[in-house]
Structure 1
Amino acid sequence: MEIVILPTAADVARTAADAIEQQVRSGPSVLGLATGSTPLGTYQELIERHRSGGLSFATSQAFLLDEYLGLASTHPQSYHSVIRGEFTDSVDFGADAVHGLDGTAKDPASEALRYEASIEAAGGVDVQILGIGTDGHIGFNEPMSSLASRTRIKTLTRQTRQDNARFFENPADVPDHVLTQGLGTIGEARHILLLAMGESKAEAIAAAVEGPVAAMCPASALQLHPHVTVLVDEAAASKLAHRDYYQDTFGRKPQWQGL
């Protein structure tokens, strides 16, 4: 796990976009896309690079992390709709190249198995973008999720529903349940980019990076992954005990090594 502390949220977005661009330019790629406010700056960077720098996603595929159970793909807050509006409709993914879970599936358990199989059939995820919740969740793997979990139904905590209420006109409309990739599923991505900005994420980042590997902080499972890059701004890094070490080692890292 490499912790990269950057001055601002804009620097986090640019650095994440650099890693994704490098992957996409290397050949056909499979990207794991997160929604929420955290990756928006990264998506805007990639859109600009597509428009002005010729970055093409035409040979890439993408898989979403999760979906609200009960929301049709046409609902404005379904993650199918959100990712189209925030990113994929503004670049050149193929018509059938962006994959998501079906929140209206009559058999959600079978839908979860189908999604797992589709990721495997695509060859697995090359780069997975992640945000982190204030309670340490990634995807919708809430505290006490199994560290080996696969794609499945989860019940949202009250805190997560409150955090997501800002996206809905009526906070009562936030669904209670979701389909989400599990921690075990996420952990099969070859490179994971965990992004966090702002003081509100500082405690979660410290627990994920420097705390024990424990189900109470689902993001701590990433400590077991061989290639995780944690990109944080100064505010999100404010509670890290070893920030001087992280800054020193990253500052002396060979340039050829990349992220």
Structure 2
Amino acid sequence: RRPRRAGVYIRVLSFALRAPVGVAPRWPCVGCARRSSVGRASGPAGLNFLSWKLCITTMRLVILDNYDLASEWAAKYICNRIIQFKPGQDRYFILGLPTGSTPLGCYKKLIEYHKNGDLSFKYVKTFNMDEYVDPNNAHILDGNATDLQAECDAFEKKIKEAGGIDLFVGGIGPDGHIAFNEPGSSLVSRTRLKTLAMDTILANAKYFDGDLSKVPTMALTVGVGTVMDAREVMILITGAHKAFALYKAIEEGVNHMWTVSAFQQHPRTIFVCDEDATLELRVKTVKYFKGEH
């Protein structure tokens, strides 16, 4: 005779299959124990005999009319998170920041808030280059280090010593790569040396006067796993040229060829985009997420 508890697993699986768009059920993992309890829900009665919980991954998609509004929304969110955190001398807010052109509008707004006295970065530590953070609190990968592997390991160690990243802000490329985690990267990767894809090299040529010979072909980058360890992740996606990447990120399954798709599995992920970036999404998907706000 089938054990009575087998029905528990069937009910849990049935619940998982009925999950709405934007809610990706998954089985418990070590990461959930380390992250915020937000986005987690207890499983059906009877599952507690194994002390299990069904983890609900709540994925938000915030859609704004244009790039400027998306940038402003992201900047206000970062500002509010820092203020709500109430950082102090013994309690720093740890912020991960991206490079590239997508976050520039957000950065301009953050600079504006800082100059107006609405936001202080005195007790904020960042793990990316940024001109408005106290240099003593900025941790930047040194691409000229003699021992690149040691540099990557030290960077990971600094993040752990800081208590982990509270909010990691990221941007993506048209091929769905986040940081320099190119298509095919491991979804549990850590900070390491990566060879850049030709699409990335071509996209970065604008920063080198259009001269491809000047564009580096390798880079140090945080890994997908490094970003996944953050307590919260916000990814900025703007422009029609990134519409297919957004579609892959939220409407299809997790795929290492589209590294941004890994964040479907993060307990607290927010995708912030403009209307142009939603062109490849289903109408019902757009309506669902717009109805949330």
Would you say 1:244 and 2:287 are equivalent positions? yes
Alpha-carbon distance in structure 2 between the residues aligned to 1:238 and 1:231: 14
Alpha-carbon distance in structure 2 between the residues aligned to 1:55 and 1:150: 31
* SS at structure 1 position matched to 2:136: coil
Would you say 1:47 and 2:90 are equivalent positions? no
Would you say 1:202 and 2:261 are equivalent positions? no
State the Cα distance separating 1:95 from its structure 2 match. 3.2
Alpha-carbon distance in structure 1 between the residues aligned to 2:218 and 2:286: 37
* SS at structure 1 position matched to 2:278: coil
* SS at structure 2 position matched to 1:193: strand
Aligned match of 2:78 = 20
Give the structure, 1 or 2, with the largest relative contact order (CA under 8 Å, sep 6 or more): 1
Cα RMSD of the aligned pairs, angstroms, is 1.0
Please give the residue correspondences for 1:117-132 in structure 2 after superposition, counting only pairs within 5 Å: 117-132=157-172
Runs of 5+ unmatched residues, structure 1: 65-79, 252-259
TM-score by length of 1: 0.85
Contact 1:192–1:229 (CA under 8 A) maintained in structure 2: yes
Alpha-carbon distance in structure 1 between the residues aligned to 2:287 and 2:81: 29
State the Cα distance separating 1:171 from its structure 2 match. 2.1
Could you list the structure 1 runs, at least 4 aligned residues long, displaced by more than 3 angstroms after superposition: none
Picking from 21, 46, 64, the partner of 1:6 is 64
Instruction: Give the length in aligned residue pairs.
Output: 226
State the Cα distance separating 1:8 from its structure 2 match. 1.1
State the Cα distance separating 1:115 from its structure 2 match. 0.3
Alpha-carbon distance in structure 2 between the residues aligned to 1:9 and 1:106: 40
% identical equivalent positions: 42
Please give the residue correspondences for 1:173-212 in structure 2 after superposition, counting only pairs within 5 Å: 173-212=214-253
* SS at structure 2 position matched to 1:230: strand
Picking from 173, 182, 189, the partner of 1:149 is 189
* SS at structure 2 position matched to 1:109: helix
Alpha-carbon distance in structure 1 between the residues aligned to 2:190 and 2:139: 17
Aligned match of 1:214 = 255
Aligned match of 1:73 = none
State the Cα distance separating 1:23 from its structure 2 match. 1.9
State the Cα distance separating 1:244 from its structure 2 match. 1.2
What code does the residue aligned with 1:227 have? R
What code does the residue aligned with 1:103 have? G
State the Cα distance separating 1:52 from its structure 2 match. 1.4
* SS at structure 2 position matched to 1:222: helix
